[in-house]
Copies of this chain bind each other. A is one copy, B any other.
Amino acid sequence: MFNFKLIKEDKASKARLGEITTNHGKIETPIFMPVGTQATVKAMSSRELEEINAQIILGNTYHLYLRPGDDLIARAGGLHKFMNWQRPILTDSGGFQVFSLAKLREIKEEGVYFRSHLDGSKQFISPEKSMQIQKNLGSDIVMAFDECPPYPASRDYVDKSLQRTLRWAERCQAEMEGIENQALFGIIQGGIYPELRKQSVEEMLKFDFPGYSIGGLSVGEPKEEMYKMLDYTTPLMAKNKPRYLMGVGTPEDLVEGIYHGIDMFDCVMPTRIARHGQIFTAVGRKTIRNAVYAEDFSPLDPECDCHVCQNYSRAYVRHLLKRNEILGVRLTTYHNLYFMLNFAQQIRQALAAGKFIDFRDEFYQNYQLK
């Protein structure tokens, strides 16, 4: 089963409050989804993810297809059981990684030929294959196999790519026919060309997918371009379907995405910067590895009520990071994910109280942007 309930629309913006229901539980939107590329959200255990109230996590089709193999995961009982995570999972289509990680790729109408970035082995993923992999993984939300064109790309290239992505969407839908426990999301492309975005939305709407994502943003274009595209695209989209902005983002991206009507976000950034010793705080990012924190016995974020901030100091975390101790990365990762999940929750509360614009104003007053 899959259901999206639109609970409330903000009066002063395009922001929405909603709720998704899946076989593995409910997801409150707007939501931030931690990324678990290789069947693990890096450095976190599944019960820690539950503790910080992660409601849904991502899995990566490309990575899991190569290692350990989706057939192995199917024999393990699916991705939920394999990684000991009983809440919802969204899997991407593998498309983005094929285009960003794989080598010697060749895009044909039937699919993409490429070589594995791990061992150079010849591989092929088609729309059908991507669906078969995701069926093996057993994710609750399945993404259509698309091409995500690079930035910059010519209008002509983006157009041709978009048409193929539409044809691929049809093949994905056909391959998923009869599957009831996995919801297939369509992906809207079109680069930074408004008329292509419009065409993509209109054509995608015809498929009546249970949800849609906006792809091809946050791929190197200026932030203002991204927000302009969102501002243009979301009003064209169905109101009664969840909208997912792929690969985004930062706290400020969440505020702006939600402002423009986005319901779902994912990004590796909170976990990646954690591994480099950077943390989120209520007043902006801080590089906790820096010498200035060597004798700072205050919490990572004095305003945070997470387990790490209640029990550990900046000085201790810095010591661990400097000594390459695993616990250092565990603590920064835990805090950063808690920060993002708690941030989304605060936004949901502000939306419920009809105070999202106040929240947004306050955020920009307190949070120092990089």
Contact = CB atoms under 8 A, between A and B. Distances in A.
A322 interface: yes
A121 interface: no
A315 B68 contact: yes
Given A76-B316, A82-B313, A40 B325 contact: yes
Interface stretch (A4-12, A17-25, A41-49): A41-49
A315 B72 contact: yes
Nearest to A44: B327
A76 B45 contact: no
Contact of A72 (B44, B295, B330): B295
Given A68-B315, A315-B72, A325 B84 contact: no
A43 B313 contact: no
B323 A330 contact: no
A228 interface: no
A67 B315 CA distance: 12
A320 interface: yes
A67 B324 CA distance: 12
Interface in A49-70: 67-68
Contacts of A320: 38-40
Which of A82, A295, A313, A327 counts the most B-chain CB atoms under 10 A from its CB? A327
A328 to B, nearest CB: 8
Contact of A312 (B84, B294, B313, B330): B84
Given A294-B68, A295-B75, A82 B316 contact: yes
A311 interface: yes
A315 B82 CA distance: 8
Nearest to A319: B68
A40 B77 CA distance: 35
B294 A327 contact: no
A297 B225 CA distance: 48
A76 B315 contact: yes
Interface in A145-200: none
- What 9 pairs between A and B have smallest CB-CB spacing? A43-B326, A68-B319, A40-B327, A84-B311, A38-B323, A40-B325, A76-B297, A82-B316, A84-B312
Interface of A: 38-40, 42-46, 67-68, 72, 75-77, 82-84, 294-295, 297, 311-313, 315-316, 319-320, 322-323, 325-327, 329-330
13 contacts: A38-B319, A38-B320, A40-B327, A42-B326, A43-B330, A67-B323, A68-B322, A83-B316, A84-B311, A84-B312, A326-B326, A326-B329, A326-B330
Given A39-B320, A68-B294, 4 more contacts: A43-B330, A72-B315, A76-B315, A84-B311
